[in-house]
Amino acid sequence: MQQPHSVQSDCQATDPMASAASFTRDVMVEQIATPDQLVAKIIDAKRLKSLRERLAPEVK
């Protein structure tokens, strides 16, 4: 278990953006546990997008 951890900390030291992307992806995977939850999040995102477009059509 030590080897992957040290590789991770080396990655964080050299490329913080890659580390941030990895962390964000891990958090998203934890938050979306089932396909039903994923579908619900996609539907919510589409609703928000259409609402935004109706309220401010010039902002895309």
Percentage of the chain beyond pLDDT 90 is: 13
Cβ(19)–Cβ(12) below 8 Å: yes
Report how many domains make up the chain. 1
Residue 38 in domain: yes
Residue 35 in domain: yes
Helical H runs in 1-60? 2-14, 16-31, 35-55
The per-residue pLDDT of the chain, averaged, comes to: 70
Task: Kindly report the pTM of this predicted structure.
Answer: 0.38
Q: Tell me what pLDDT residue 2 has.
A: 43
Mean pLDDT value of segment 20-25 = 71
CA distance 10 to 16: 10
Mean pLDDT value of segment 15-26 = 71
Residue 51 in domain: yes
Whole domain around residue 47: which residue ranges?
2-55
